[in-house]
Structures are given as structure tokens and as C-alpha cells.
């Protein structure tokens, strides 16, 4: 192993340590607790070392979002591919999406609620963002009828899931009716498209 390879590996390990610490801190205390000073203390590196890896807290949050998007993709793919039919795939994916939002609130917020310096819906977006959207599209696209733009249809369905997840998490919608809301969304969407 060359010195350069070892340094690159050590750098990647430090970055992962910082991202993991940020995730843990955000999940336990919220994103407001994630500061470079606090992270430096958690990972036992100086703030300049953190800044040598990330431009600041927002860049760390973006790294967390990309990592989390990979996890979301895995959950969506597993749900979609385990279903027996197209409607079942849409239902399973919808459940997996809203479960992810409920079970990983800080990670979901980094992805879809807080402003992060990531290009969404552009060719420049990280691969993990494209892959997560593709999982949504693969479940929604079979519901398209003549004239529907599959991307716009997917964006609209995703917006509906995000709204349900966000409003339920923030107690704007009673959680006990969540399953019925999902069933209504899926039923209406599958029958009209």
C-alpha cells in the first residue's frame, strides 16, 4: 500500500467518522445541536481538521443527506421488489417511504426539510439522489396513462408522500389515520392513472 493510498483511506475514514457523529447527534438532540465545535469534540479532532474535510455544518449535513438517500433507496427497492404486483409495489414503497420518515426523522430532515447544498432534480445531483427518485419512478410509472409524463407523475406522487410524512410527523395530521390516508392515496392514484 502506498503512502498516498493510506492517506486517502485515513481521510475517508475521518470523513465517515464525522458524518456518523453528526447523524447520531442529530438523531438524539436535533440538527441545532450539530455544530462544528460540538462535532470536533465528539470525534476528538480539532475544528480545523473538520474544516479540512467539510466547508462547514451545511456540507456535513449534505454528506449525511447523501448517505441517508442511499439508505432510503435500499428500503424503497426492497419494498418495491418484494411486492407481487404493480399496485402492491406502489403500496409497499409508499409504506417504506413514510416509515423511513417516521423512524429516521433527523435523516429525513437532512434530506428533504432543511436547506442543504445539493442539486436536486438535475444531472449534477449525486447518484444516490437519482437512484432514490428512480425507485419512486419505477413504482409510479406503471400507473401512468396515455399522455402522463412519468417524471411529473412521480414528482407529484412523491410530493403527496412527503406531505403525508411531514404533516403526520409534526402532529398536523392524527397518526392513527395514517394507514387509511395511504390507502386512499394509493387507491385514488392507481385507479385514476
Give the tens place of pLDDT for each residue, 95-122: 999 999 999 999 999 999 998 889 888 9
Longest Cα pair distance anywhere in the chain, in angstroms? 60
- What's the rounded Cα separation, in Å, for the pair 136 and 185? 15
Give the mean model confidence (pLDDT) for residues 71-79. Answer: 98
How many whole angstroms separate alpha carbon 61 and alpha carbon 107?
9
pLDDT at 193: 55
- Whether the per-residue pLDDT at 190 is higher than 90: the answer is no
Which residue, 107, 99, 103, is CA-closest to 23? 107
pLDDT above 80 for 1: no
Q: What's the mean pLDDT in 49-73?
A: 95
Q: What is the mean pLDDT of residues 164-178?
A: 95
Pairwise CA distance, residues 193 & 189, whole Å: 6
- DSSP assignment, residue 123? T
Q: Identify the pLDDT of residue 31.
A: 95
pLDDT value at residue 188: 87
> Burial level of 142, CB count in 10 A (0-12/13-18/19+)?
middle
pLDDT band at 126 (very low <50, low <70, confident <90, very high): very high
**pLDDT tens readout for residues 133-166:** 999 999 999 999 988 999 999 999 999 999 999 9
Rounded average pLDDT over 7-33: 95
- Cβ contacts of 129 within 8 Å, gap of 6 or more: 66, 69, 118, 120
Q: What is the DSSP string of 124-192?
A: TS-HHHHHHHHHHHHHHGGG--TT--HHHHHHHHHHHHHHHHHHHHTTSS-GGGHHHHHHHHHHHHHHH
In the predicted structure, residue 192 carries a pLDDT above the cut 80: no
Amino acid at each position: 500500500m502506498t503512502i498516498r493510498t493510506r492517506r486517502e483511506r485515513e481521510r475517508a475514514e475521518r470523513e465517515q467518522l464525522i458524518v456518523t457523529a453528526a447523524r447520531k447527534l442529530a438523531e438524539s438532540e436535533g440538527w441545532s445541536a450539530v455544530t462544528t465545535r460540538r462535532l470536533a469534540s465528539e470525534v476528538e479532532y480539532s475544528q480545523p481538521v473538520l474544516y479540512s474535510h467539510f466547508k462547514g455544518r451545511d456540507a456535513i449535513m449534505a454528506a449525511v443527506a447523501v448517505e441517508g438517500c442511499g439508505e432510503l433507496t435500499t428500503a424503497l427497492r426492497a419494498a418495491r421488489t418484494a411486492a407481487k404486483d404493480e399496485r402492491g409495489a406502489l403500496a409497499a414503497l409508499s409504506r417504506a417511504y413514510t416509515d423511513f420518515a417516521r423512524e429516521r426523522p433527523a435523516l429525513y430532515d437532512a434530506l428533504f426539510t432543511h436547506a442543504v447544498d445539493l442539486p436536486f432534480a438535475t444531472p449534477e445531483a449525486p447518484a444516490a439522489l437519482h437512484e432514490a427518485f428512480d425507485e419512486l419512478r419505477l413504482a409510479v410509472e406503471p400507473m401512468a396513462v396515455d399522455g402522463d409524463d412519468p417524471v411529473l407523475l412521480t414528482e407529484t406522487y412523491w410530493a403527496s408522500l412527503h406531505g403525508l410524512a411531514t404533516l403526520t410527523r409534526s402532529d398536523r395530521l392524527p397518526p392513527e389515520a395514517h394507514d387509511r390516508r395511504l390507502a386512499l392515496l394509493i387507491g385514488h392514484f392507481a385507479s385514476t392513472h
